Amino acid sequence: MSERERESADKAVDRGEPAEAPQEDPETPDELETSEGPGELRDSAGPDEQKDPAASGEGADGGSVRRGRVAVAVGVFGELLITAGLVLALFVVYSLWWTNVLADRQAKKESDRVREHWAADRGPGDLDTRDGIGFLHVPSMSEKDILVKKGTDPKELNQGIAGYYTKPVKSALPQDQSGNFSLAAHRDGHGAKFHDIDKIDKGDAIVFETKNTWYVYKVFETLPQTSKYNVDVLDAVPKGSGKKARGRYITLTTCTPVYTSKYRYIVWGELVRTQDVDEDRTAPAELR
């Protein structure tokens, strides 16, 4: 208390008046003191209390990140599916169309070469095997002639031709007095020469053309489906054909159903006549 205040108090006491309590200067409370400076409110939450992530927005941001990652993964997976689909489509186009184009080109070159040999050599001899033994004609299956060569392995059939069997059962040849002239060709791709084999019916003509002879067969039976391991259909007297005695038969074989190789489709025919080839190579009536 100052000297003046004591004197005033003494005087008041002397006059019988109560003394006034001394007044102190106000101070700013601690709760208003912050590290940011006076006058700014301090966070009222205690040091051990945690904020709600959802209220602060941190949870929403995390969810957005996760959703973004999922969207990227789905996008990448979708692009991979599209790419795989395009690759598969290109493979189908290659297998079922482009291989036909290549095989047909190759077959035409070889067919032209065979006919050139025949035209240049008019001497005797029924079978010329230098580039192929002849041409198969099946009007109900195809309007085109089909070059026939030795062998039924893919490397032969992929050339767009038909091949005669050398194994597991050796084929007879058209000029043989008895036996089964058995042939195979692709149904899809690589020329697909037997694609429409299912259009062949009983009674239809099958004609085989060699250098000097036309061999005319008549279809007597078909077998729409059999095991790919059923080689008995190639026997001299083909099992399942209904024939019991040896004769001069022809057998056509290919894969079935279409676009698969699970089973085999079989057509059998029997020789009904032959016709000599004239200078103009006039086709038999069955082909006209």
Q: Active-site residue among 117, 137, 186, 190?
A: 186
CB 44 within 8 A of CB 34: no
Q: How would you classify the pairing of strands 205-209 and 213-227?
A: antiparallel
| Number of Cβ atoms within 10 Å of the Cβ of 241 | 23
| Number of Cβ atoms within 10 Å of the Cβ of 144 | 16
Residue 86, classed as helix, strand or coil, is: helix
The torsion defined by the Cα of 208, 213, 217 and 222, in degrees rounded to 10, comes to -20
Q: How would you classify the pairing of strands 205-209 and 134-137?
A: antiparallel
Q: Active-site residue among 137, 190, 195, 255?
A: 255
Say whether 137 is catalytic: no
Residue 87, classed as helix, strand or coil, is: helix
Residue 169: closest CA among 161, 160, 179, 177: 179
Say whether 117 is catalytic: no
The residues that are catalytic are 186, 255
